Amino acid sequence: MFSYQKRLQYPVNIKKKDLRLAKYLVTQYGGANGELAAALRYLNQRFTMPDNKGKALLTDIGTEELAHIEMLETMIYQLMKDATLEEIKEAGLDTHYAEHAKALFPTDASGVPFTTTYFATTGDPLADLSEDMAAEQKARAVYENLIDLTDDPDVIGPLLWLRQREIVHYARFKELFEYYEKKQNDNSNKPGNDIMFANSMENNQLPNNMKNNQAFSNQQPFDAEYLNNIFKNIDLNRNYIRGLEQKNSIFI
Amino acid sequence: MNYNYYRNSSNLFNPEEGYNLGNMFADLYKGYKNYKPAKLTGRTPEEKSFLELSRIGFAMHEMNLYLDLHPEDRTIQQLFNDYRKMFLELEEKYEQNYGPITITSDTLEKSPFAWVKDEWPWEGGRNV
């Protein structure tokens, strides 16, 4: 199930109304490469991912996309809320107004309503993840187009941030895709083994490793430089947290 | 398994930088043209404590996505543990001072029901 947090994932505070921009931005809400399509795509595909890594990643990214929908909705709402009827007509949003007044409705930039044909589920993890990688790249490109179309820093801030999330999600999907692809190739080289994930992660993985205190086992090649780097970063992050704990002044 | 990935991902931003950028992993970061991400700051004590909550919550979420694919990575697990503890602490303190964020908050025990009291995020409430 899902539960709501009464906060945005990243702040949206747009002070200047801009109907033209609202008309463009709506495509990242209800258009082909928008956040609504992304959320539904991952939250449907996750059921047929072959192992728990895939199910976890698609669940968690799909959930984050719900928070991105909320950010886009907030941006469109704030850009439109103070508009007069004249301004709405002038911006070509009268066709939206006829049906929805100033309410939100998922469409693309030309007003075409959201449709489930924007995403697919095939039951094949490599096919689905290829689509997910493409979707993240397309959404990144659209965010860049939208950034080009405005000079309002209140709008550019959240758009840059959402664009960066597409980059992170793309990298995670790509990693999962390559992991499955390798697994499939390894399995198909063994005679008589035609089941894609015969020896899936659930059977041989985690808890034992961790219980036996062998997470730093010979599965991963470590060298001194790598270890130094990683501990340095841990220290930096720990210091940040400690600083927060001491700085009680942030609370009344 | 791509081991180079482990190596690169040791380059983490701290939660303040990471939240501004929308990315905790320096090796994954890609900017757009000459645009600089906004430097988020809080003015009031409420804004400051809310911003800290958002930063730590974001850092925790980024470790979460990474751990989905590398559940055996103890280093990132440790960071996730730190952020999670800090997040719960910040959330509880924020809620006690300024109102509920989740429906399981202790602050919802009193009447009148505080869930309906504060501004919603799209109206400018809790939006630093």
CA A176 distance to own-chain centroid: 15
Partner-chain contact B75 A234, CB within 8 Å: yes
CATH architecture of residue range(s) A19-185:
Up-down Bundle (1.20)
Answer yes or no: is B68 within a domain: yes
Answer yes or no: is B30 within a domain: no
Answer yes or no: is B35 within a domain: no
Total domains in the fold of chain B: 1
pTM of the model: 0.85
Amino acid at A4: Y
Q: What is the pLDDT of residue A192?
A: 54
pLDDT one-digit tens code per residue, A167-207:
999 999 999 999 999 999 998 876 655 445 544 444 444 44
The alpha carbon of residue A23 is apart from the nearest alpha carbon of chain B, in Å, by: 18
Beta-bridge partner residues of B25: B12
Domain span including residue B11: 3-21+43-123
Amino acid at A7: R
User: Which segments of B1-128 does DSSP mark as H helices, in order?
Assistant: 3-8, 15-21, 45-69, 74-98
Partner-chain contact B127 A13, CB within 8 Å: yes
pLDDT one-digit tens code per residue, B46-66:
999 999 999 999 999 999 999
User: Which segments of chain A does DSSP mark as H helices, in order?
Assistant: 19-25, 27-30, 35-45, 52-80, 85-90, 94-100, 125-148, 153-188, 201-204, 206-211, 224-246
Partner-chain contact B49 A250, CB within 8 Å: yes
Q: Are A147 and B35 in contact (CB under 8 A)?
A: yes
Helix (H, G, I), strand (E, B) or coil at B10: coil
pLDDT one-digit tens code per residue, A64-102:
999 999 999 999 999 999 999 999 999 999 999 999 999
The alpha carbon of residue A25 is apart from the nearest alpha carbon of chain B, in Å, by: 16
Q: Residues 56-85, chain B: which have Cβ within 8 Å of A?
A: 56, 58-59, 61-62, 64-66, 68-69, 71-75, 78-79, 82-83
Number of residues in chain B: 128
Q: What is the mean pLDDT of chain B?
A: 91
Indicate the pLDDT class of residue B5, thresholds 50, 70 and 90: very low
